Structure 1
Amino acid sequence: MKKIVTLAAAALIAASGTYAVAQGAGPGGPGAGQERQARPERPRMSQDDFNRFVDARIAGIKAGLRLTADQERLWQPVEAAIRNNASERFTRMEQFRANRDQNRQLDFMQRLERRSTFATENAQRTSALATAMRPLWDSFNEDQKRIAPRLLQQAVGGMGWRGERRGDRFHGRDHDRMGMMHHGDRMMGRGPGMMQQGGQPAQPQNPQ
Structure 2
Amino acid sequence: MRKFAIAGIAALAIAGTTAVYAQHRWFHDHMAHMRMSPEDRAAMADAKIAAVHAGLKLNADQEKLWPPVESAVRDLVKIRIDRAKAREAAAAAAKADDQQKPDPVTRLRTRADNMAASAAALKKIADAADPLYKTLDDGQKRRLAMLTHRGHHGGEGWRERFQHGRFGGDRDHDRDRGQDPERL
1:112 aligns with 2:102: no
Q: 1:189, 1:146 → 2: CA distance?
A: 32
Q: State the match for 1:181 in structure 2.
A: 169
Give the count of matched residue pairs. 163
Query: For 1:51-101, what per-residue CA distance to the aligned partner results, in whole angstroms no more than 9, with x for missing partners?
Result: 332233123212332200222121012112212211221221232233245
Map 1:1-208 onto structure 2 (within 5 A).
8=1, 12-13=3-4, 16-17=7-8, 19-20=10-11, 22-27=12-17, 29=18, 31-39=19-27, 40-42=29-31, 43-100=34-91, 105-145=101-141, 147-152=143-148, 153=150, 154-157=157-160, 174-178=163-167, 181-187=169-175, 190=178
Percent identity (aligned): 28
1:44 is paired with a residue whose SS is coil
TM-score, normalising length from structure 2? 0.68
Contact 1:175 1:183 in 2 (8 A): yes
- 1: CA distance between counterparts of 2:82 and 2:166? 16
| Inter-CA distance 104–86: structure 2 relative to 1 (3 Å threshold) | farther
Unaligned ranges ≥5, structure 2? 151-156, 179-184
Higher alpha-carbon Rg: 1
1:32 Cα offset (Å) = 3.7
1:120 positional shift: 1.4
Report which structure shows greater RCO (CA 8 Å, sep ≥6). 2
Please give the alpha-carbon distance, in whole angstroms, between the structure 1 residues aligned to 2:3 and 2:111.
58
Amino acid at match of 2:133: W
Normalising to structure 1: TM-score of the pair? 0.62
